[in-house]
C-alpha cells in the first residue's frame, strides 16, 4: 500500500497508457512528494476555497485537473509581485500542501476519465459510441430538450447556446474543457455533429461558425456548459476509480463550482 | 472624393498613427478593391446575416472588425471542404462583395476607436481617464449597480460576473474584445482595477484568478460582456467618424448581435 505522495502518483500513472510523457503538464506544482499522504483531495481546480477545504479535511495531497497559478504550465515568474499569487503560495507553504496536476493523463486514460465521469453524471454511459469515442448518440430530442436535461443533471440554473431551440438532435459531440476554436469547428464538420457540448468556446470563432452554419442551412448547434461544469464530474469519478487501490487513505472530491454568476 | 474601395481604405489608413503596418491582419479578405464603391457597411463581424443585409442595402464594401472565416488571419486552407465556408464564399463571390478588416488600426487610432464608441454608448466619455487610457473612473457604485447600467445601456437581458455584487467600485478597466487571460490578469493587478469589463474571458485563467483574489481579500470583480457586446458600438461609431469624409457614399452600421442565447 502506498505511503508517500509520490507512490500514489506512480500508482496512478502506471495505469495510463502512454504515460509518463516528457512534455506533460502533469507534474508536481508545489510541495514535497516524499511526504506521507494524510489524505487526498480531487478537484477541477485548486482554488483557495478548495485548498481551505482540503486543510479542513486534513488532506495534504491535492490532485487538480486545471492549473493552480493561472497559466498553462503554472509558470509564476510573471506573478512574482502579484498579491493573489503571493497569498495563495503562502497558504500552500504554511499548510504543507502538495499539488499535482492530473490533466493530460486522465484524458489519455482509456476511456477518457473526464468523459466517463461526465457521462455517469448524465446517465449516458450506455448510449451508442460508434465511430468516435467523443460522439454519443442520445435518444432523439430537440436542442431545447437537451438543454433542459443538461441543466437538471448538471445543476445549472442557466446554460448558453448558439442554435435553434427547436432543432432535432441526436448526434452529440463531447468537446469538454477548452479544446480551442479550430478544433471545435473541425469536430462540428468532420464528426458531423448535430450538437457540440463544450466547456469554454471562442466566440469570434466557433460561435460565428455555428451562426453561419445555421444561416447557410446546416443542422448545427453549440451548447456552452462552462469549463468547470463540463469537466468537474470527471474529477468526482476519480475518487471511485482510485479508492479501491488506496483503501486506507481518505479520498475526497471537492467541487470548485462554476466561478461565473449569470445576472 | 474617393470612388474606389481602395481609395476609401487609403483615406482611413492615412488617419491612423503608425499605419500601415507590415504584419497587420487589416487587409482585404476577398473581393476587388479596384471596384467603385456602391455603399459601405460597417459591422463587428461579417456574418452571413450581415452580408445579406449589405446586399439588400446595395453596399459592395464591408468593413468588419473580426475575421470573416473563423481564423485570426482568415487562413482558409483548413476549411477547403467545409460546407459553411464554401457557401459563404460563394455568396460573397456571387454578389461581388469586398471585405476589409479594420481591427488593429481602429484600436491604434488615438483614441482607440472601439473604446470611444463603447464609451459613447455608455455615456462615459466625460469621466476621468487619468493614468491609463483604458481605466475609467465612474461615479461610485456597486458591482450590482454597474451591471444594471451595462445591461440597460448595452441592451443585454443578462450578463456574467465573477465577484461580489455588493462590492463598491469606481475604477473600471475597459478590457474590450478578447485580450487573453494573462493580459486580463496583469491589468487587474497592475492597473489596480476594481472591476475589469471584458469581451471574452478565459475561465480557467482569469475567472480563477478573480475567484482567488476575492478569497484572499482583494477588491476585484470581472464582468463578462460577450465579445460582440463589448466592441460592437465601436463599429457603429465608425459611421460617425467616416461619413463626413465620404459625403456622397451611403455608410450603414449593421449590428451582428451576440450569437449566444442564455436559457
pLDDT digit string, tens, across residues A59-78: 999 999 999 999 999 999 99
Distances (CA, A) of B159 to A43, A263, B162, B197, B208: 27, 6, 10, 11, 18
Distance CA A22, CA B10 (A): 51
Distance CA B220, CA B192 (A): 9
pLDDT digit string, tens, across residues B77-86: 999 999 999 9
Handedness of CA B84, B86, B92, B95 (dihedral sign): negative
Q: Which of A182, A189, A213 is opposite residue B71, by nearest beta carbon?
A: A182
Query: For residue A48, how many other CB atoms are within 10 A of its CB?
Result: 19
pLDDT digit string, tens, across residues A154-181: 999 999 999 999 999 999 999 999 999 9
Distance CA A104, CA A113 (A): 10
Q: Extract the C-alpha cell encoding B23.
A: 504584419
Write down the pLDDT at residue B2.
77
The mean pLDDT value for A210-233 works out to 98
The answer to whether A210 touches A222, Cβ cutoff 8 Å, is yes
The answer to whether B168 touches B217, Cβ cutoff 8 Å, is no
Instruction: Return the domain boundaries, chain A.
Output: 5-109, 113-227
pLDDT digit string, tens, across residues A241-252: 999 999 999 999
Q: Does domain B5-109 have CATH number 3.40.1390.30?
A: yes
Write down the pLDDT at residue A130.
75
pLDDT digit string, tens, across residues A73-125: 999 999 999 999 999 999 999 999 999 999 999 999 999 999 999 999 999 99
Contact A200 B205 (CB under 8 A): no
Write down the pLDDT at residue A79.
97
Write down the pLDDT at residue B98.
98
Q: Do domains B5-109 and B113-227 have the same CATH topology?
A: yes
pLDDT digit string, tens, across residues B197-226: 999 999 999 999 999 999 999 999 999 999
Instruction: Provide, as residue numbers in chain B, all residues whose Cβ is less than 8 Å from the Cβ of A147.
Output: 263
Distance CA B2, CA A95 (A): 69
Write down the pLDDT at residue B1.
76
The answer to whether A98 touches A61, Cβ cutoff 8 Å, is yes
Task: Report DSSP state, residue B243.
Answer: G
Contact A88 B165 (CB under 8 A): no
Instruction: List the CATH code of the domain at B113-227.
Output: 3.40.1390.30
Write down the pLDDT at residue B130.
75
Distances (CA, A) of A147 to A127, A134, A158, A165, A169: 18, 19, 9, 9, 11
Residue A2 has pLDDT above 90, yes or no: no
Closest CA relative to residue A62, chosen from A260, A259, A256: A256
Instruction: Spell B100-116 as b/e; 16+ CB within 10 A means b.
Output: bbbbbbbbbbeebbbbb
Instruction: Provide, as residue numbers in chain B, all residues whose Cβ is less than 8 Å from the Cβ of A263.
Output: 144, 147, 158-161, 165
| Ligand-binding site membership of A227 (annotated) | yes
> Which are the contacts of B21, defined by CB distance < 8 A and separation ≥ 6?
B104
Q: How far apart are the first and last CA of chain B?
A: 49
pTM: 0.97
Q: What is the ipTM of this complex?
A: 0.98
CA distance B261 to chain A (A): 5
Handedness of CA A120, A127, A188, B228 (dihedral sign): negative
The mean pLDDT value for B14-31 works out to 97
Residue B33 has pLDDT above 80, yes or no: yes
Q: What confidence tier does B19 reach under pLDDT thresholds 50, 70, 90?
A: very high
> Which are the contacts of B257, defined by CB distance < 8 A and separation ≥ 6?
B228, B232
Write down the pLDDT at residue B213.
98
Instruction: Provide, as residue numbers in chain A, all residues whose Cβ is less than 8 Å from the Cβ of B262.
Output: 158-160, 262
Burial class (CB in 10 A: 0-12, 13-18, 19+), A165: middle
Average of per-residue pLDDT values in chain B: 97
Residue A1 has pLDDT above 80, yes or no: no
The mean pLDDT value for A10-33 works out to 97
Closest CA relative to residue A81, chosen from B186, B205, B132: B186
State percent of chain B over pLDDT 90: 97
Helix, strand, coil percentages in chain A from 3-state DSSP, rounded to 5: 40, 20, 45
| Ligand-binding site membership of A65 (annotated) | yes
Contact B144 A217 (CB under 8 A): no
Cross-sheet strand order for the sheet of B160-162: A261-262, B160-162, B221-224, B195-198, B168-175, B135-142
Distance CA A68, CA A54 (A): 14
Amino acid at each position: 500500500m502506498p505511503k508517500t505522495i509520490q507512490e500514489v502518483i506512480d500508482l496512478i500513472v502506471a495505469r495510463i497508457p502512454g504515460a509518463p510523457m516528457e512534455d506533460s503538464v502533469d507534474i508536481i506544482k508545489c510541495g514535497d512528494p516524499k511526504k506521507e499522504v494524510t489524505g487526498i483531495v480531487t478537484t477541477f481546480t485548486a482554488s483557495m476555497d478548495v485548498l481551505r477545504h482540503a486543510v479542513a479535511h486534513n488532506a495534504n495531497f491535492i490532485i487538480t485537473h486545471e492549473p493552480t497559478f493561472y497559466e498553462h504550465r503554472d509558470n509564476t515568474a510573471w506573478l512574482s509581485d502579484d498579491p493573489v499569487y503571493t497569498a495563495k503560495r503562502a497558504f500552500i507553504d504554511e499548510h504543507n500542501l502538495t499539488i499535482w496536476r492530473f490533466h493530460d493523463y486522465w484524458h489519455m486514460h482509456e476511456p477518457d476519465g473526464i468523459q466517463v465521469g461526465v457521462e455517469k453524471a448524465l446517465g449516458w454511459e450506455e448510449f451508442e459510441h460508434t465511430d468516435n469515442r467523443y460522439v454519443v448518440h442520445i435518444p432523439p430530442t430537440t436542442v431545447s430538450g437537451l438543454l433542459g436535461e443538461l441543466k437538471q443533471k448538471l445543476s445549472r440554473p442557466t446554460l448558453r447556446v448558439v442554435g435553434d431551440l427547436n432543432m432535432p438532435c441526436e448526434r452529440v459531440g463531447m468537446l469538454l474543457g477548452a479544446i480551442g476554436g479550430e478544433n471545435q469547428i473541425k469536430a462540428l464538420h468532420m464528426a458531423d455533429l448535430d450538437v457540440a457540448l463544450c466547456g469554454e468556446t471562442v466566440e469570434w470563432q466557433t460561435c460565428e461558425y455555428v451562426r453561419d452554419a445555421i444561416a447557410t442551412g446546416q443542422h448545427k448547434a453549440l451548447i456552452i456548459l462552462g469549463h468547470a461544469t463540463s469537466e468537474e464530474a470527471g474529477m468526482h469519478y476519480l475518487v471511485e476509480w482510485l479508492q479501491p487501490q488506496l483503501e486506507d487513505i481518505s479520498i475526497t472530491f471537492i467541487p470548485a463550482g462554476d466561478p461565473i454568476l449569470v445576472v
